[in-house]
Amino acid sequence: MYQGDAIRDTYKSLAEWSEKLGPEELNAKRAEAEALFRRIGITFAVYGEGGDPERLIPFDLIPRVFTSFEWSRLERGVKQRAEALNCFLRDVYHRAEIVRAGRIPAELVFQNAAFEPSVVGFRPAEGVFSHIVGIDLVRTSADEFFVLEDNCRTPSGVSYMLENREIMMRMFPDLFRKMRVAPVEDYPDQLRRTLASVAPEKCITDPTVVVLTPGGMNSAYYEHSFLADQMGVELVEGQDLFVEGDLVFMRTTRGPQRVDVIYRRIDDPFLDPLHFRPDSMLGIPGLMNVYLTGGVSICSAPGAGVADDKAVYTYVPDMIRFYLGEEPILKNVPTWRCGTPDDLKHVLANLGDLVVKEVHGSGGYGMLVGPASTKAEIETYAERIKANPSEFIAQPTLSLSTCPTFVEQGLAPRHVDLRPYCLVGKKVNLCPGGLTRVALREGSLVVNSSQGGGVKDTWVIAD
């Protein structure tokens, strides 16, 4: 929000608005928003913590604002990255030119747990492996964005983007009349079109799309049902689908219905017990054979996870140069790979200043934020790293951009990040908005909802 001491222009009218409203009114509005969220039922489950398992994710009334000029650059950067990640996936499952060229180590790709050997040589519809690319970004200055991580499998959180906007529009219709905010409401429609555009060759009718969920116990179940509902497609669990011969069918009251595209919100190992884990009850037995013979499309494609591994992340700028012949528009955070001895030495010597993450972890679980940790915590973590160095990467803490946020004491700056959602099918589409997550604790850099983070609406406004 701030540029030096001055407030960014984009925020001026918002600042006037909130001043006019005053803290009491804002407080009342916040309570109103919370009641609305409760009524809709958006909650999220936090693993590994006691307390209310269906907690409400804290919502902050003050939106985060981008001008369309700022956004257009960011949009080019995100699309560039989404394109390069899909090029990489097509490549490593075909000739692996990037490995042959020595631009990325073979073992990092082929020995990666997320590399799926069975799809080597298989070309998914339109050559797309990752159909929804969620890229986590932070801003460090007016024109500088850093990518924290890529999410190529099934990035979650888009339901918050949509719900946050709806709540804001309901509560502050005047504001939306005054400021021309780019709409995000057509995201579900775009998602459905993206999924339909990657129907398999064998599909000759209007494609039937379904959302596959692991079920009501999953922390993102609300989002699964919300998206299915918004797209107007069926929400299914594994047991609702079955294989016959070379096709997948859905059980319906009118008899079996053929399914063409599965937007799956379950991980590879659980997709098909005849192919992956034999004990999985969540998937559809026989699904992978149908997939490999072109009878159904699975989004994201099995094996897409090899592109969003945190160790592979460090090579994404190289991917952009290698496949697209362009310079990356969005920067990577400098990253040390603890698997290499020199990096490991540096990391262990500087743990107090670094953020350390597990290569395969997500959601802010199991990470170390050096500056916010006690000596004992750092020492314990160092032992974990030493026991299995290649499982960890480390990054410097960045001076993250802050955004005015309504807290107990009134408006105060808090650190934010942004996850925009890029859709990749026949066309590439970036929704003008995204999920802004805010670290509500003062000085905190961790925005994950499981770690005390909240969310904001994200606005792209006409210049």
Partner 1 sequence: MHLKIQHTSTYRFEMPVRYVVQSHRLWASQFEGQSVLGWNVMVEDAVFGQYFTDSAGDRVRTMTLNGPLTELRVHVEGEVMTSDQNGVLAGHIERVPPLAYLRTTDPTKPDKALKELALATSGSDLDRAHALSNAVAEAIVYRPGTTDAHTTAAEALAQGEGVCQDHAHALISAARTIGMPARYVSGYLQASSDGVPHEAGHAWAELHVSTLGWVGFDPANKCCPDERYVRLGSGLDAIHAAPIRGITHGLSSGDLEVEVAVEAAQQ
Minimum Å distance from CB 104 to partner 1? Answer: 13
Nearer to partner 1, 96 or 175 (CB): 96
Nearer to partner 1, 113 or 462 (CB): 113
Nearer to partner 1, 237 or 377 (CB): 237
Q: What type of residue sits at position 86?
A: N
Closest CA to 330 of 84, 7, 160, 102: 84
Minimum Å distance from CB 281 to partner 1? Answer: 9
Nearer to partner 1, 285 or 364 (CB): 285
Residues in contact with partner 1 by CB under 8 A are 96, 106-107, 110-111, 113, 115, 117-122, 242-246, 273-275, 278, 285-286, 288-290, 292-293, 295
Minimum Å distance from CB 221 to partner 1? Answer: 25
Nearer to partner 1, 132 or 248 (CB): 248
Nearer to partner 1, 101 or 349 (CB): 101
Minimum Å distance from CB 283 to partner 1? Answer: 11
Secondary structure of the chain in HEC code, one letter for each residue: CEECCEECHHHHHHHHHHHHHHHHHHHHHHHHHHHHHHHHCCCECCCCCCCCCCECCCEEEEEEEEEHHHHHHHHHHHHHHHHHHHHHHHHHCCCCHHHHCCCCCHHHHHCCCCCCHHHCCCCCHHHCCCCEEEEEEEEEECCEEEEEEEECCCCCCHHHHHHHHHHHHHHCHHHHHHCCECCCCCHHHHHHHHHHHCCCCCCCCCCCEEEECCCCCCCCHHHHHHHHHHHCCEEECHHHEEEECCEEEECCCCCCEECCEEEECCCHHHCCCCCCCCCCCCCCCCHHHHHHCCCCEEECCCCHHHHCCCCCHHHHHHHHHHHHCCCCCCEECCCEECCCHHHHHHHHHCHHHEEEEECCCCCCCCCEEHHHCCHHHHHHHHHHHHHCHHHEEEEECCCCCEEEEEECCEEEEEEEEEECEEEECCCEEECCCCEEEEECCCCCCCCCHHHCEEEEEEEEECC
Minimum Å distance from CB 237 to partner 1? Answer: 16
Nearer to partner 1, 242 or 365 (CB): 242
Minimum Å distance from CB 247 to partner 1? Answer: 8
Q: What type of residue sits at position 419?
A: R
Nearer to partner 1, 134 or 273 (CB): 273
Minimum Å distance from CB 116 to partner 1? Answer: 9
Minimum Å distance from CB 339 to partner 1? Answer: 15
Nearer to partner 1, 289 or 448 (CB): 289
Minimum Å distance from CB 214 to partner 1? Answer: 18
